[in-house]
Structure 1
């Protein structure tokens, strides 16, 4: 049984670092800062444990972050271990790609991460919503936070603020850093319990089909026979034809299409116990959507989904969110002995340089996203991978980030495979 995280009623007036948003990015950042003795205040608009709309899949980069944060054993004890990703094409063919993965609902995962931050010394205060930065000149010196309805706002001054508020644009807009209000993509998911299918479906299943064009469907087996099933569209709000129209897709209709074209999904929804309504969420991908070149401004850094740490091809973002939070913490820690003027420049430069090192990987995943628009490419790749152990090893390398996804999941990549 989950124990609610107890928090003081009011945050302190001052902190070394104020981290806004206690999801994977914010909790990872807060833990590393608190470990080094900085007074770290972590706030979130929700009490914990709380739900978060997500696919819940944890791939190797997430596992690496868990180890660094010291929570790997606790996550592994709660999560459903998974040894393969099953890639399913429109014609029904599939290939199982090996890897070290797991599934854990964000309600449980985020609670583990925020408790670890508290155990390291971070002060958690909820529910508090970011309303606006406190600014002196051009520098952010804290934040105004709003509690439950009827309560007056509170102000927390801080040497630095880390904004880890997810893909919704309101906080970025208030901070003067929102480059685009529309998301890169959107997704919906449901939780469904089906004990019998839990014995049959033991892989992360990702499905491409003409009826799902522009995105994909998934069926992920979680703990206690509960599946995370959903559909997502990347580029759901991109401009079409240069005429200013948004490319949209009704995701509820797409979810229904998914259940029509993929028999395991249909069986799951027909026979299983649906645990709550279908829920949706926006996505920010490819390290885009934050104005400026430093993912921040003097006194403030942006991390996690707010910074666009989700992969455009797969929609996976938990691992990179934690990584960005830890990179933000490292940038702040390296500059802690500098004067304020020196620290501002050094922190922004160090953090931007660290994220730019990740950018090529995001670009490759964005190129690989063509398979979502042309699902027949998945059929070709699956056909070749079933015949070639070497290609299957490359696909496994995409999961653990040792292989370039554009060599496989693009038209030119698949064309080359046909002749190898």
Structure 2
């Protein structure tokens, strides 16, 4: 798209073409709205992520009409293998898949364009355009190095965990992330029949966090480590703790046999890459007049599991639905969207309680030990994965007491 054809106005401008932005764009465009979606990177971008698609992601993709396209390219799996510090393991059943974000985001982006949304990249958000009353009326962008303005009735900011755009829009409340992660892809066809589950490993080497190995398509594996609470918040400007992700990754590989074998026998594809995480629906204002914040920019990732793809799409759909329901009534759109996020907040709080397992890996040993003896507990763990059970209850005092009674 050339300078002469860049749009100067639309009904909804979506900044960020990841899961949240693309989901909102497809939903609005299918309803006949004039949508422009912009992103700093062109189609086919890489994104640091575990790539796991758990049931909430399946549900959101089904609503969007894109589940079959995604699953046609994804690597399916029937279990999450939970491995404790002492090597105990329990396989928790669920509807699961793995698809690299480069492919997933492309499917979502093209799905939005297919519905009628226009896409511009590379385009960097510089600032919000405001009217005399301070309501956001569009955005000032840099497209291919040139300044450009797009007027819009609504702006949805879905720019991920990096806070630069949030800060420029006056929406950032916490500049530092909730956690950090490092991942790489390893091609190891010989291990495809041996590592079939999405393996999540708790050990002291990754405390407070976990390591993972997820089987991806075409004989590759997504391997990584995630560390929660990686920054201490000091009056909104966090200070990074003493965290060296590469050292933690190397320690994880040295400690966990499957990781050691994967790195020894497989071929690293590309390089290891790190990224921040924003969790628990905290760290940013959700709305201001004319603007909604969605996806990981709003903190849509769960702190306990690190899962964020499904929740990002869910918040994007909430933003789109609020706009469709109330159109030009700014107060009602914002209230509807904030009400939708508030309805999710208790679940995020419970997953934050479940985050104790990352801080105290011995809890994983205890849960695995009891789950092997208790079908009811295994069912509850499966419920956490499927979001039908409360993860906080598993590691509460009452929940821990129940482990010895079931």
Q: Which position in structure 2 is the counterpart of 1:132?
A: 127
Whether the aligned pair in 2 keeps the contact of 1:26 and 1:304 (CA below 8 Å) is yes
Whether the aligned pair in 2 keeps the contact of 1:189 and 1:230 (CA below 8 Å) is yes
5+ unaligned residues in a row in structure 2: which ranges? none
1:290 aligns to what SS in structure 2? coil
Match of 2:15 among 2, 20, 23: 20
Q: Which position in structure 1 is the counterpart of 2:400?
A: 414
What's the C-alpha RMSD, in Å, of the aligned pairs?
A: 1.3
Instruction: Give the TM-score taking structure 1 as reference length.
Output: 0.93
Pick closer, same or farther for the CA change 1:411–1:256 going to 2, 3 Å.
farther
Q: Which position in structure 2 is the counterpart of 1:141?
A: 137
How many residues of Structure 1 are paired with residues of Structure 2 in the alignment?
A: 401
Q: Which position in structure 2 is the counterpart of 1:195?
A: 189
Q: Which position in structure 1 is the counterpart of 2:352?
A: 366
Instruction: Give the TM-score taking structure 2 as reference length.
Output: 0.97
Match of 2:365 among 359, 368, 379: 379
In structure 2, what is the Cα distance between the partners aligned to 1:308 and 1:81?
Answer: 27
Deviations 1:104-152 (A, max 9, x none): 000000000001001111011111011111111311100011123xx32
Whether the aligned pair in 1 keeps the contact of 2:29 and 2:115 (CA below 8 Å) is yes
Is residue 83 from structure 1 mapped to residue 78 from structure 2 by the alignment? yes
Q: Which position in structure 2 is the counterpart of 1:45?
A: 40
1:387 aligns to what SS in structure 2? coil
Deviation at 1:238, TM superposition (A): 2.3
In structure 2, what is the Cα distance between the partners aligned to 1:346 and 1:258?
Answer: 49
Deviation at 1:413, TM superposition (A): 2.1
Match of 1:224 among 209, 218, 234: 218
Deviation at 1:409, TM superposition (A): 3.6
Task: Write out aligned runs for 1:249-268 (5 A).
Answer: 249-268=243-262
Deviation at 1:412, TM superposition (A): 4.4
1:419 aligns to what SS in structure 2? coil
Is residue 63 from structure 1 mapped to residue 49 from structure 2 by the alignment? no
Q: Which position in structure 1 is the counterpart of 2:268?
A: 274
Deviation at 1:239, TM superposition (A): 4.6
5+ unaligned residues in a row in structure 1: which ranges? 1-6
Match of 2:148 among 134, 151, 154: 154
In structure 2, what is the Cα distance between the partners aligned to 1:409 and 1:79?
Answer: 32
Q: Which position in structure 2 is the counterpart of 1:335?
A: 326
2:87 aligns to what SS in structure 1? coil
In structure 1, what is the Cα distance between the partners aligned to 2:104 and 2:239?
Answer: 38
Whether the aligned pair in 2 keeps the contact of 1:370 and 1:410 (CA below 8 Å) is no
